[in-house]
Structure 1
Amino acid sequence: MRKRYIPDLVKQMADCEANYLRLMRLMPDIEECNEREFEVHWQQQQSTVRLQIEERFKYTTTVVVSQSFDHSWLEVPSLVVRIYHDARAAEVICMKSRRQLRGVYSYPNTQMHQRDEKAQLNQYLGEWLSHCLTHGHEAEPVF
Structure 2
Amino acid sequence: MKKRYVPDLVKQMADCEANYLRLMRLMPDIEQRDERVFEVSCHQQQSTVRLQIEERFTYTTTVLVSQSSDHRWLEAPSLIVRMYHDARAAEVICLKSKRHFRGVYNYPNAQMHQKDEKAQLNQYLGEWLSHCLTHGQAAEPAYSFT
TM over 0.5: yes
Alpha-carbon distance between aligned partners in 1 of 2:78 and 2:107, rounded to the nearest angstrom: 24
Deviates more, 1:77-86 or 1:131-140: 131-140
Single out whichever of 71-80 and 59-68 deviates more from structure 2: 71-80
Q: 1:102-130 CA distances to partner (integer Å, 9 max, x unpaired)?
A: 00001111101000000010011001100
Hey, what's the Cα distance between the residues in 1 that align with 2:66 and 2:49? 6
Instruction: Show CA shifts across 1:68-119 (max 9, x none).
Output: 0012333122100000000000000001124000000011111010000000
Moved more, 94-103 or 10-19: 94-103
The whole-number CA distance in structure 2 between the counterparts of 1:43 and 1:126 is: 20
Gaps of 5+ in 1: none
SS in 2 for 1:67: strand
2:103 aligned residue: 103
Query: Which residue of the partner structure matches residue 7 of structure 1?
Result: 7
RMSD over aligned CA atoms reads 1.2
Partner amino acid, structure 1, of 2:99: R
Shift of 1:54: 0.3
- Unpaired runs of 5+ in structure 2? none
